[in-house]
Amino acid sequence: MESWKLTLPCTRAEAEILKEDIAPFVLLEPVPVLMTSEIDPAAPDDWQLDIYFEEEPSAATVTMAKQLVPSSADTTPVIIRLDDQDWVAISQEGLAPIREGRFFVHTPIHRDEIPEGALVFEIDAGQAFGTGHHETTAGCLAILDTLKSQGRRYRSIADIGTGTGILAFAAMALWPNAETIASDIDPLAIEVAEQNAAINAVRIGRGSGQVEMLVAAGLAHRRLRARAPYDLLIANILAGPLIELAPIFGNGVAPGGTLVLAGLLDKQADAVASAYRRNRFRLAERLNRGEWSILRLEKRRVRGHRPASRG
């Protein structure tokens, strides 16, 4: 099989963004595989983007690649033809399955490694960023698993910035009778999430045991407002938007409800937590994964409101 690799330098910040957003490449057929890597530990801000294709990338595709990493605007990409090989399999081999508590997230090549009794989700290698291979997503899975082990029960769940849909699917697997809604500011992400729902037999709809998917920023969509307040709200985005959304999430989460925030560096965690303390949340848990932090916050209860129950 003919295959090609396009390589561009990028910054560490650009690489981190690409772990959650590979649009518009998700619309290509077949979807190319994007991999980012650190070039030299002595230069931590210098990273590299490699994109694998089944055919030689066109000029338009090269332009799209450069738009993903603006720092490469004046750089000529390196494009090479690879020896005949199954490049999809090779790229998937580099994406080891993720096991977080009862969850197992894998690419198609790892189907024969599924452990007995796990909650399993399959995401194609071309969509691998944001599927659990990134520390923040894996950390969110770990917190969801802990909440279930603690006996928490949730009736209304929202996943804001859903990406591939993996966190919404995971929450649905743990609380199958809940009403779940998943949104993303990027229409392409919602298309990918819908495809992944079909692959993983997740039902799309507005009823109990189904997930409603829509394009929206924050809680701006009327459907998100109509279904609020939420017992559980998950937002794996970036620190800046999370701080801006603190008042909105403060109104969108029910008293006694749970808020899981991710996408923030460890050094940003205090500022994010402070913004939410000012909006009636208390920090219940901080999980560190590498340079990243995942925060679990609880909305302060008010008299006369029944909080999310425990089993």
Question: What are the domain boundaries of the chain?
Answer: 3-93, 151-299
**38-60 tens-digit pLDDT:** 777 678 788 998 888 888 999 99
Residue at 234: amino acid letter: I
Residue at 113: amino acid letter: E
d(CA 208, CA 220): 22
Distance of CA 234 to the CA centre of its chain: 10
Q: What is the pLDDT, as a whole number, of residue 130?
A: 44
The length of the chain is 311
pLDDT at 25 over 60: yes
Instruction: Tell me the pLDDT band of 266, cut-offs 50, 70 and 90.
Output: confident
CATH superfamily label, 151-299: Vaccinia Virus protein VP39 (3.40.50.150)
pLDDT at 308 over 60: no
DSSP secondary structure string for all residues of 58-112: PHHHHHHHHHHSGGGTT-PPEEEEEPSS-HHHHHHHTS--EEETTEEEE-GGGGG
Which structure tokens are listed for 255? Answer: 């008293």
Give the mean model confidence (pLDDT) for residues 168-183.
Answer: 96
Cis geometry, peptide bond prior to residue 24 (ω within 30 degrees of 0): yes
**178 Cβ contact partners less than 8 Å away, ≥ 6 residues apart:** 154, 155, 156, 157, 171, 172, 208, 209, 231, 232
d(CA 45, CA 268): 18
d(CA 269, CA 290): 13
Binding region: 137, 161, 184, 236
Alpha carbon separation from 35 to 7, 66, 111, 219 (Å, rounded) = 10, 14, 21, 31
Q: What is the pLDDT, as a whole number, of residue 157?
A: 98
Is 5:50 a contact under the CB 8 Å cutoff? yes
Bridge pairing between strands 103-106 and 98-100: antiparallel
106 forms bridges with which residues in the sheet? 122
Nearest to 225 by CA among 191, 251, 257: 251
Q: What are phi and psi of 164, to 5 degrees?
A: -80, -5
Of the options 1.10.10, 2.60.40, 3.40.630, 3.30.70, the CATH number for the domain spanning 3-93: 3.30.70
Is 184:224 a contact under the CB 8 Å cutoff? no
Q: What is the pLDDT, as a whole number, of residue 310?
A: 44
Which structure tokens are listed for 142? Answer: 């770990």
**127-140 tens-digit pLDDT:** 544 444 567 888 99
**267 Cβ contact partners less than 8 Å away, ≥ 6 residues apart:** none
**141-160 tens-digit pLDDT:** 999 999 999 999 999 999 99
**185-217 tens-digit pLDDT:** 888 788 889 999 999 999 999 999 999 999 999
Instruction: Tell me the pLDDT band of 1, cut-offs 50, 70 and 90.
Output: low
Binding region for S-adenosyl-L-methionine: 137, 161, 184, 236
Q: What percent of the chain clears pLDDT 70, i.e. is strictly above it?
A: 86
Give the mean model confidence (pLDDT) for residues 270-275.
Answer: 96
Is 230:258 a contact under the CB 8 Å cutoff? no
